[in-house]
Structure 1
Amino acid sequence: MSRTLTRLTALLLAVTLTGCGIFGKEIDETEGWSASKLYSEAATELDAGSYEHAIELYQKLEARYPFGRYAMQAQLDVAYAHYRAEEPEDALAAADRFIKLYPQNPYVDYAYYLKGIVNYNRSIGFLDRFIPTDASQRDPGSALDAFKDFAILVERFPNSKYAEDARQRMVYLRSNLAMNEVHVARYYMKRGAYLAAANRANHVIQHYQRTSAVDDALEVLIDAYRALGKDDLAADAKRVLDLNRQEGRFIADEVRPEKVDLARRLWDYLQLDEN
């Protein structure tokens, strides 16, 4: 009898250690859940800040019910969840996937806007959240990506509710990209690469008009031409600089747009909670 009891105790212990499963198979509590149930639970987890669990539930929803509005919304929510979980690469991949699968969807503007915000925040950087820094001195890669994302949004969806904010961020990003070119030109000056500095400065003057960086670019251009012995060109650049300053044509630095409170926007639009 004691031997039988021992075996039963061992079996019960094994069941407990495998998470109440039998023969090593774990029980999935979501098995049999409907699409609406999965979506509702995932949304609840997302709103509570449990991003990893929310992503897991959304992925189960997409796998079990790949068609329909719940799966469509789940893809956008997954992108947003990755964004909130500070997983930018996954957020961008999820947004791109939605854009590829639903290019004509009425809410695709949100996907482009989300991509822009993800890249915009990447361009700001971690330290800048706590210590104000000059964003124009950082690698412009993410800033360029954000600018392109916002540009697509504004061009394709000019009446989108996100378009105005995107335009403001494009102005700020453009100013920073211009100043980045100026920093590079100054670096070339320090290294004695005067022709390269002049070319960079001219690039700013030609392609980033109506930014404060043009003022700085003209100063660099004057110094570069003088260093190259091109005094006539330096004098011409000096006249342009003085004239524009007298006319007040150089605009002030753009104020950085406030941090966006990006949220899961489409729940109310699709009225998924009414089913």
Structure 2
Amino acid sequence: MNKIYIILIYLMILSGCSKDEVKVVKIKETQQDLEMISAYKEAYLALNQGDPYFSAKKFLEAELLYPQSDWAPKAALLASYSYYLQNYYPEALLNLERYLITYPSDINHSYAHYLIAMCYFETIEDEKRDSAPLIKARDKFKYVVENFPNTDFAMDSKFKIDLIQDIIAAKEMYLGRHYIKKQKWIAAINRFKIVVEDYDTTVFVEEALHRLVEINYKLGLKEESQKYANLLGYNYLSSDWYKKSYKVFNKSYKISEKKINNKDKRGIIEKFKKLFN
């Protein structure tokens, strides 16, 4: 704050102002500072008391009262966080983008980018819905990992990326199964190939390989079918999906199914409950 006062005094001297005029400017500046701090404290209190709507309003007020202060970018970020808590994701995103433009040298950019990613992440629904939030969230989480690798935000971003990969793979599987029902074989093959090639670390890769075995065999492309069967067997030999693929080539093969009686089920449930005791 002293540096600001010194600059203001220096500018006033250059413009030929009197000492009295300089004192008036300093008093106004101090009053503006106090108003900003008061609004900031009020906003923070409201946030802690569970009133994020009022909190967002007061943080933005604090920023506007003294936009050149060190507290202004903090107020802008906390306003965005308050919007986020209310599920006002469009408002949070708009304010975060404004913050990045208005305060390009602020030290909290890692948090801003992470919060942008979280806003997109929170709007993700299931594999049947629009994939735009999935892609935007994944790309922003990747940005955090690549540009802020030593932060806690990067650690959580890696975890979120894995979750998103699973959801995207689930979406491709859903579409692939849909095309099978419609007997659109090429469209189905393309979806399952995406899972095998781009999402091979997800839980859906085994089923995707089996579907490729199944469809290619049905189309008479036995060499192609055998290729995917070999790949499935090499990587997931004990998988149930491999057994199903094996049955495609060996019709007489019977898949054994182990039945769990009610007593076994109770034992499993009890073991599960103990994990949380």
Alignment correspondent of 1:191: 182
Alignment correspondent of 2:27: none
Q: Residues of 2 paired with 1:211 and 1:97: CA distance? A: 36
Alignment correspondent of 2:155: 164
Alignment correspondent of 1:213: 204
Alignment correspondent of 1:56: 57
Instruction: Please show how residues 1-275 of structure 1 align to structure 2 within 5 Å.
Output: 34-123=35-124, 125=125, 135-246=126-237
Contact 1:189 1:197 (8 Å CA) reproduced? yes
Q: Residues of 2 paired with 1:167 and 1:104: CA distance? A: 25
Q: Residues of 1 paired with 2:176 and 2:108: CA distance? A: 42
Higher helix share: 2
Letter of the 1:202 counterpart: K
Q: Residues of 2 paired with 1:202 and 1:100: CA distance? A: 41
Contact 1:195 1:228 (8 Å CA) reproduced? no
Q: CA deviation at 1:60?
A: 2.0
Q: Residues of 1 paired with 2:154 and 2:85: CA distance? A: 22
Q: CA deviation at 1:247?
A: 7.8
Tell me the alpha carbon deviations over residues 18-46 of structure 1, each in whole angstroms, 9 at most, x when there is no partner: xxxxxxxxxxxxx9752111111111112
TM-score, scaled to structure 2: 0.70
Q: Which runs of 4+ in 1 moved over 4 A?
A: none
Identity %: 25
> Residue 34 of structure 1 aligns to a residue in which SS?
helix
Q: Residues of 2 paired with 1:103 and 1:118: CA distance? A: 21
> Residue 237 of structure 2 aligns to a residue in which SS?
helix
Letter of the 1:41 counterpart: E
Tell me the alpha carbon deviations over residues 159-194 of structure 1, each in whole angstroms, 9 at most, x when there is no partner: 012111111111111122112111111111111110
Q: Residues of 2 paired with 1:168 and 1:241: CA distance? A: 27
Contact 2:172 2:191 (8 Å CA) reproduced? yes
Tell me the alpha carbon deviations over residues 97-131 of structure 1, each in whole angstroms, 9 at most, x when there is no partner: 222233442211111111222222221x4xxxxxx
Q: CA deviation at 1:158?
A: 0.2
With a CA cutoff of 8 Å and minimum separation of 6, indicate the structure with the bigger relative contact order: 1
Letter of the 2:170 counterpart: M
Q: Residues of 2 paired with 1:189 and 1:82: CA distance? A: 43
Q: CA deviation at 1:154?
A: 0.3
Q: Residues of 2 paired with 1:142 and 1:111: CA distance? A: 17
Contact 1:215 1:241 (8 Å CA) reproduced? yes
User: Which protein shows a greater Rg?
Assistant: 2
Q: Count residues with an aligned counterpart.
A: 209
Q: Residues of 2 paired with 1:155 and 1:204: CA distance? A: 24
Tell me the alpha carbon deviations over residues 214-257 of structure 1, each in whole angstroms, 9 at most, x when there is no partner: 11211221222123321221121111111211288x9xxxxxxx
The answer for unaligned runs of 5 or more in structure 1 is 1-30, 126-134, 251-275
Q: CA deviation at 1:137?
A: 4.2
How much is the aligned-residue C-alpha RMSD, in angstroms?
2.1
> Residue 78 of structure 2 aligns to a residue in which SS?
helix
Contact 2:134 2:168 (8 Å CA) reproduced? yes
The answer for unaligned runs of 5 or more in structure 2 is 1-30, 242-277
